[in-house]
Amino acid sequence: MNDEMRKVLTLLGEHFGQSGVHRLDTPFAVDGLHFEDQVAPALRRLATGSPPFITGVEVDQLDYPAVITGITERGWSELEQARGSQESTASRADGPESPAQAVRSTTPAGSSSSTFTEPGRAVLTEEQRVFLDWVEDYFRTNATWPTFRAVDSALDRSGLDATHAIETLGPDFVSSRQPRDDELVVLTLDGLSLADHGGQTIGLFLKALSYCVERERRHTAEEDTQPCAVSRDELSEHWRSSAGENQAPLVAHAFRLLLLDQWIQGGSSGYPDGNWALTLNKRGTRRYRGVQTWEEYKARRGEDRTVPIAVHYVPATLGMEGLSTLRLSGADAPSRGALHPRVEAACRDRFASGFHADGVLQALKVLPALIRERTGCVDKREADLIGWALQRNGSVLRLGDLSTDFGRDRQLGAQQMALGVWRAFRHVLTHDTPVIQPQDAEEIVSAVSCLVRLVDGAELGTVLQEITTARVG
């Protein structure tokens, strides 16, 4: 780092060390330096370092950040070393606050900024920092999220515990909770922002968000009655034409990042590495109009971490063994583990990745698979298999006492419900790629879970009892 870069970074440290300060517009004065000849080149080098020292927003006509939005981990470390202060490092190692508390806190008014402690910055443990850096680096390199097995192995080689890192970071920073080996580890946008190189990833998200906001604005102005959607090819072509180079490698990143926002998306289809489409939530997208920086985004998003409405399977209160009701609930709800385990396992990773249509399809496949296991029937088509297994007389699978009206209605209702769900969704999802909104997807999966539980707990009817007896004999 040369003297000009150090003088500019020192001024930025003093600026961002103040409470409540989150941006600095250019040009600005640095004693003894000319802005265009010396400060601007220094900003360019600080922003393009590997890793960078600062984060900022660039304008197409400039080759340096026109708005400085913060200082990275490397930048603060450089300032601390220059001042010969170890206070920031010591306080970070002590870890007096949880990350959620620290990110929401700011430097107290009137406190000294001489040690360049970043205001509002999470006091992370070494384990948490390595975890966030590793996952963010994997995502930035591969345009997909790593499996828990990969993360766990990487941290274990350094003597660190990935499970403990996830538990202590909490849901504000890691959306995956108690993941299994093959489950994807997904950081939230806030989690990405805490990683050492997270500024680059957040910058890409803001760039994609800006296009979505403008796309929705044009859609509204044109009074188009169809849902507003952004596709892979559309975004790729826009970035190529505006940047003058191939931006396709970034589009898969952008899709997965947009799926992390709870307001903007109204549904999605396709695959990040293939041809995808993201339907925009009109009101949710409009809240981000004019947003250019990470701080502005967080302010518009709001501090409320309310999760989208989720559907959970819970026991009915009517005393009807084997039946269930569906309850809509949000952040205080029990975990989605209340779904039948096989249904949850089938759709969990797809939902976590934002592929709601494919998650529904995988959940639907559980029902005929379980019926085949229980009945041994392998020569019927899936729709025929379901109708046969749940036939009204209960000769194959019996759901209750068929000598009562309730038992007979339950048997017939389950058959009709299963065939209705199957015909409404399974055939469509097999031959088309419709957009299914997150709440709709979870409601469909909950209905499938109810049917799977009924089949799982059903008694063998007379036909299967005779077959089983003959096999044993």
More confident call, 372 vs 417? 417
pLDDT at position 316: 27
When pLDDT is cut at 50, 70 and 90, the band that residue 460 belongs to is confident
Token representation of residue 127: 């384990």
pLDDT at position 118: 42
Token representation of residue 183: 């489950």
* CA 270/CA 433 separation, integer angstroms: 7
Asked, for residue 116, whether it belongs to a domain, the answer is no
Per residue in 77-108, pLDDT (tens digit) is 888 777 764 444 444 444 434 444 433 333 32
Distance of alpha carbon 114 from the chain centroid: 37
More confident call, 387 vs 251? 387
pLDDT at position 160: 92
CB 382 within 8 A of CB 393: no
In terms of domains, do 260 and 330 share one? Answer: no
Asked, for residue 323, whether it belongs to a domain, the answer is yes
In terms of domains, do 254 and 157 share one? Answer: no
Neighbours of 434 (CB within 10 A): 11
Question: Which CATH number belongs to the domain containing residue 36 in this structure?
Answer: 1.10.10
Coil, strand or helix at 168 = helix
Evaluate the omega torsion of the peptide bond into residue 27 and state whether it is cis, within 30 degrees of 0.
yes
What is the mean pLDDT of the segment spanning 242-261? Answer: 73
CB 337 within 8 A of CB 326: no
Distance of alpha carbon 176 from the chain centroid: 9
8-state DSSP, 143: S
Highest mean pLDDT among 122-126, 255-259, 263-267: 255-259
Asked, for residue 105, whether it belongs to a domain, the answer is no
In terms of domains, do 210 and 182 share one? Answer: no
Q: Where are the alpha helices (DSSP H) in 195-340?
A: 198-221, 232-243, 248-258, 282-286, 294-301
Asked, for residue 114, whether it belongs to a domain, the answer is no
Of 237-246, 412-421, 456-465, give the lowest mean pLDDT range.
237-246
Evaluate the omega torsion of the peptide bond into residue 51 and state whether it is cis, within 30 degrees of 0.
yes
CB 100 within 8 A of CB 172: yes
In terms of domains, do 208 and 317 share one? Answer: no
Distances (CA, A) of 87 to 6, 54, 93, 110, 324: 20, 21, 10, 17, 57
Domain residues for the domain of 222 are 198-301
Tell whether the model's pLDDT for residue 8 goes beyond 70.
Answer: yes
In terms of domains, do 295 and 317 share one? Answer: no
Last residue of a domain, one of 148, 167, 194: 194
Per residue in 122-174, pLDDT (tens digit) is 568 889 999 999 999 999 888 888 999 999 999 999 899 999 998 888 878 88
pLDDT at position 20: 59
pLDDT at position 94: 46
CB 14 within 8 A of CB 6: no
Asked, for residue 183, whether it belongs to a domain, the answer is yes
* CA 302/CA 304 separation, integer angstroms: 5
pLDDT at position 347: 85
pLDDT at position 206: 92
Where are any strands of DSSP class E within 270-378?
277-280, 310-315, 324-329
In terms of domains, do 429 and 346 share one? Answer: yes
In terms of domains, do 225 and 294 share one? Answer: yes
pLDDT at position 243: 57
Distance of alpha carbon 444 from the chain centroid: 20
In terms of domains, do 264 and 330 share one? Answer: no
In terms of domains, do 369 and 454 share one? Answer: yes
pLDDT at position 299: 85
Long-range contacts of 237-241 (CB under 8 A, 24+ apart): 238/211, 239/207, 239/211
In terms of domains, do 206 and 150 share one? Answer: no
Last residue of a domain, one of 194, 216, 231: 194
Per residue in 213-250, pLDDT (tens digit) is 999 998 888 876 778 888 888 888 887 776 555 555 67
**In the chain, % of residues over pLDDT 70:** 73
In terms of domains, do 184 and 231 share one? Answer: no
What is the mean pLDDT of the segment spanning 32-52? Answer: 85
Asked, for residue 321, whether it belongs to a domain, the answer is yes
What is the mean pLDDT of the segment spanning 407-436? Answer: 82
pLDDT at position 133: 93
CB 333 within 8 A of CB 312: yes
pLDDT at position 115: 37
Where are any strands of DSSP class E within 386-444?
397-398
317, 370, 372: which is closest to 340 by C-alpha?
A: 370
* Residue 420: its H or E element: helix 405-421
pLDDT at position 298: 87
What is the mean pLDDT of the segment spanning 443-462? Answer: 87
Token representation of residue 94: 């002590």
Asked, for residue 103, whether it belongs to a domain, the answer is no
Per residue in 172-203, pLDDT (tens digit) is 888 766 677 878 888 989 899 989 888 889 98
Distances (CA, A) of 159 to 94, 170, 415: 19, 21, 53
pLDDT at position 383: 85
Of 89-98, 376-385, 425-434, give the lowest mean pLDDT range.
89-98
190, 192, 234: which is closest to 212 by C-alpha?
A: 234
In terms of domains, do 279 and 320 share one? Answer: no
More confident call, 239 vs 386? 386
* CA 131/CA 157 separation, integer angstroms: 12
When pLDDT is cut at 50, 70 and 90, the band that residue 323 belongs to is very low
Asked, for residue 106, whether it belongs to a domain, the answer is no
Neighbours of 353 (CB within 10 A): 20
Q: How many domains does the chain have?
A: 4
* CA 167/CA 128 separation, integer angstroms: 10
Per residue in 105-120, pLDDT (tens digit) is 333 233 333 334 344 4
SS3 content of the chain, % helix, strand, coil (to 5): 55, 10, 35
Where are any strands of DSSP class E within 20-96?
24-25, 54-58, 65-71
More confident call, 301 vs 9? 9
Average pLDDT of the chain?
75
Total residue count of the chain as it appears in this document: 473
* CA 121/CA 77 separation, integer angstroms: 13
Last residue of a domain, one of 271, 301, 331: 301
pLDDT at position 138: 93
